[in-house]
Amino acid sequence: MQTELSRKLGIEHAVFGFTPFPAVAAAISRAGGFGVLGAVRYTAPDELARDLDWMQEHLDDRPYGLDVVMPAKKVEGVSESDVEAMIPEGHRQFVEDTLGKYGVPELAEGEASGWRITGWMEQVARNQLDVAFDYPIKLLANALGSPPADVIQRAHDHDVLVAALAGSARHARKHADAGIDIVVAQGYEAGGHTGEIASMVLTPEAVEAVAPLPVLAAGGIGSGDQIAAAFALGAQGVWLGSLWLTTTEADLHSRALTEKLLAAGSGDTVRSRALTGKPARQLRTEWTDAWDDPDGPGTLPMPLQGLLVAEAVSRIQKHEVQALLGTPVGQIVGRMNSERSVQVVFDELTRGFERAIDRVNRIAGRD
């Protein structure tokens, strides 16, 4: 599964795997793809450095990248406590009432929330980059569009390519104008923050909008024939995230959540603002239903919503409260029905890709 971009990066397969788990990212790179470690959960620079050190020891000298969540516009002098103070008391009470309805226990005394969406904050993200540029990363991806201009320049000064996610051709053109190197065209089917245009429509629109910049197709891709289709639409690679959640290297810290993912069908997700304040595709649960209920208080804008529900999400996950337990995941969850290693997933992707190419060649009369 080679393209001009994969050859430029020195990888065997033009498969870019986004994951919050260092073990999965390293396994993706070892399998011939390009592992991209999500940094949003790292609030302390030494935690990120620790995991990048681990990856360096387990990559077999294969290339890899880092994904941050960084706004394009800088906000000066705003701390997390300042933002916390903006959360209405009524919303805090709604969280407690919902948790109480389902009997969700408190965290143990002194136990901090293990889930904080703080990587969006300017200084947190910049601290992550201060660490990352000390390592031989080959790609910096930003989940909130184009990073600030000085960050793009800094990455280029380190010979690091910059990628940005886009949900429309208009967004893709803005990224190109900002000087990024790769556009990730993420369709409606994708897990996490996503727009309203499906991958089949978005991919060729983005390819045309930013040519000759390379485009990666994302959203609803989890098989070799879908990768072949993405290439046929002009993409120079695919960006896969959800598919790795049920691999044996993933560390969800919850058997109940893994089983929910394995049992879910492609119709069991919803785009909801319940997690971060922006529309994000995730498993549909009683938690998402509560926030989407018109009789409720409604969600807060990003980043207020993420900070509001951080401890609640930790409590739900720690105690594995089945009705409320969920995670960002795309519609491809319907294909994620068994636990396999990353290498086995890659073997299935390459076999499926070869079958799809053979099928097209027969249709074209080349066989």
Confidence at residue 120, expressed as pLDDT on a 0 to 100 scale? 54
Position 48 scores a pLDDT of: 95
DSSP states along 119-180: TTSHHHHHHHHHHHTTTT--EEEETTSSPPHHHHHHHHHTT-EEEEEESSHHHHHHHHHHT-
Give pLDDT, residue 136: 96
Please tell me the predicted confidence (pLDDT) of residue 220.
Answer: 94
- pTM, 2 dp: 0.92
Considering only CA atoms, which of 151, 123, 142 is closest in space to residue 186? 142
User: Would you place residue 75 in the very low, low, confident or very high pLDDT band (cuts 50, 70, 90)?
Assistant: low
Predicted pLDDT of residue 365? 87
Q: What is the mean pLDDT of residues 303-330?
A: 92
What is the residue-averaged pLDDT of the chain?
92
φ, ψ for residue 270, nearest 5 deg: -150, 145
**pLDDT at residue 304, rounded to an integer:** 87
> In Å, what is the CA distance from 327 to each residue of 154, 210, 271, 272?
33, 32, 12, 11
The C-alpha atoms of residue 20 and residue 201 are separated, in whole angstroms, by 28
Say what the pLDDT of residue 119 is: 46
Q: Which of 61-65, 145-149, 243-247, 269-273 has the lowest mean pLDDT?
A: 145-149
Amino acid identity, position 255: R
From residue 175, how far is each of 106, 164, 192 by CA, in Å? 43, 7, 20
Distances (CA, A) of 90 to 82, 97, 296: 18, 10, 10
Please state the rounded mean pLDDT for residues 247-259.
Answer: 93
**What's the pLDDT score for residue 228?**
97
| Lowest-confidence segment of 13-22, 65-74, 117-126 by average pLDDT | 117-126
Tell me the per-residue pLDDT of 173-195, one tens digit each, with 9 for 90 and over. Answer: 999 999 999 999 999 999 999 99
Split at pLDDT 50, 70, 90, the class of 25 is very high
What contacts 323, CB < 8 A, 6 or more positions away? 102, 285, 286, 287
